[in-house]
Amino acid sequence: GDSVTQMEGPVTLSEEAFLTINCTYTATGYPSLFWYVQYPGEGLQLLLKATKADDKGSNKGFEATYRKETTSFHLEKGSVQVSDSAVYFCALRQDGQNFVFGPGTRLSVLP
Amino acid sequence: SQTIHQWPATLVQPVGSPLSLECTVEGTSNPNLYWYRQAAGRGLQLLFYSVGIGQISSEVPQNLSASRPQDRQFILSSKKLLLSDSGFYLCAWRDKEKAGNTIYFGEGSWLTVV
């Protein structure tokens, strides 16, 4: 079946550092790809998404590009802030099927 | 705009007691509804989903059950809780009419079984 793999972390960075969280997927067909963020004690919120190859999703300074050739959707941010500390989930969904989530990556940003 | 609410936000229950978590969605009709569990420090586990009133699909066998008595209401229940039922429970919805669309989560309910 379809699956999502992401670095589990925790990832610890200093404020203003560059962030990359890797995400790769296995799927038959052409899924939509998503990044969700979960702040402490809260539910998940959509951060960004891409629905076809070469699309770039972006939001709040975060970006991810749908790379079909490498089956990847890595999350990047040029300069992280303490407020970005959270758990980040990569996910995919094929039409007619349920979401498949990765295990989540915990990010801690230190001042 | 659409909103999703679930309650209670936090509860502590003894082993063997019943459970009822409720979730409602506003501003949409005929959504797909979901219950996920997130154990401490772990990823998301899909427990149940529903594509319509009275239609429930279970992803994992366990002592939990789900019901959808109304179009925008989804309830997670147990007759007798186990210690292993502790975790963070998330309700979610999705508009089934839109391709490539997003799943939206509620605020979550923390359950501690003691």
Structure tokens at A2: 């379809």
Interface test with B, best of A7, A51, A98 (most B CBs within 10 A): A98
Structure tokens at B98: 């839109």
Give the Cα-Cα-Cα angle B76, B26, A44 (nearest 5 degrees).
Answer: 60
- Chain A with chain B: Cβ pairs closer than 8 A: 43
Taking CA–CA distances from A5, the nearest residue in chain B reads B43
Give the Cα-Cα-Cα angle B91, A97, A61 (nearest 5 degrees).
Answer: 65
pLDDT for A40-75, tens place per residue? 888 999 999 999 999 999 999 999 999 999 999 999
pLDDT for B52-96, tens place per residue? 999 999 988 688 999 999 999 999 999 999 999 999 999 999 998
| Contact between B75 and B23 (Cβ < 8 Å) | yes
Taking CA–CA distances from A48, the nearest residue in chain B reads B102
Instruction: State how far residue A39 is from chain B, nearest Cα, in angstroms.
Output: 11
pLDDT for B7-32, tens place per residue? 999 999 999 999 999 999 999 999 99
